[in-house]
Amino acid sequence: MNLKKTSVLPVFLLMASFSVFAKEVKLGNDLATYTLTCGKSITVNFTDLTDSNSGHTLIGLKNKQTGAVDLFLSRTPTSDRRQYEQYNRVIYDNLSKTYIGMADSPSIVWGAARDNGQTEETYRLALGSHVYICGKLEKLPDETANTLYGEADDESPSDGTNATYGQ
């Protein structure tokens, strides 16, 4: 009797947690394909570029002062193992369709290494003299199908019911 009521809550919470990851994360003109958390709450979103910066990795970090996502581009092409690499701050230029380095940008170091013969890499993010250990690397879902064919976030009925189409 109470089983039906109590079993709905875990299902709802599970569905709500998936919807958090369903949002696309834009990095300049590219979509993030991976995410991980460093330290307690530093979210690192990144993607491997295939355009004029092919082989490089683009990272997005939320700026605590402005609230905007600042972009950082690897100095050299990134290896498959994502070994430690220096990243410089960039902005996306819509006119040239490229990422342009900022002259006064802070550089960061991010990447992975195997500690003491471990089989999995441990990611770290160095911001100045502070080094943060990162959690597990997660691949973001591909939202292409939903973007092309799904409903917009503002199209759902305000009363919480499902809309019926084609009648």
Task: Tell me the pTM.
Answer: 0.71
Tell me how far apart the alpha carbons of residues 56 and 71 are, in angstroms, rounded to a whole number. 13
Give the pLDDT confidence of 36-85 residue by residue, as tens digits. Answer: 999 999 999 999 998 778 889 999 999 999 999 999 999 988 877 788 99
70 close to 63: Cβ distance less than 8 angstroms:
yes
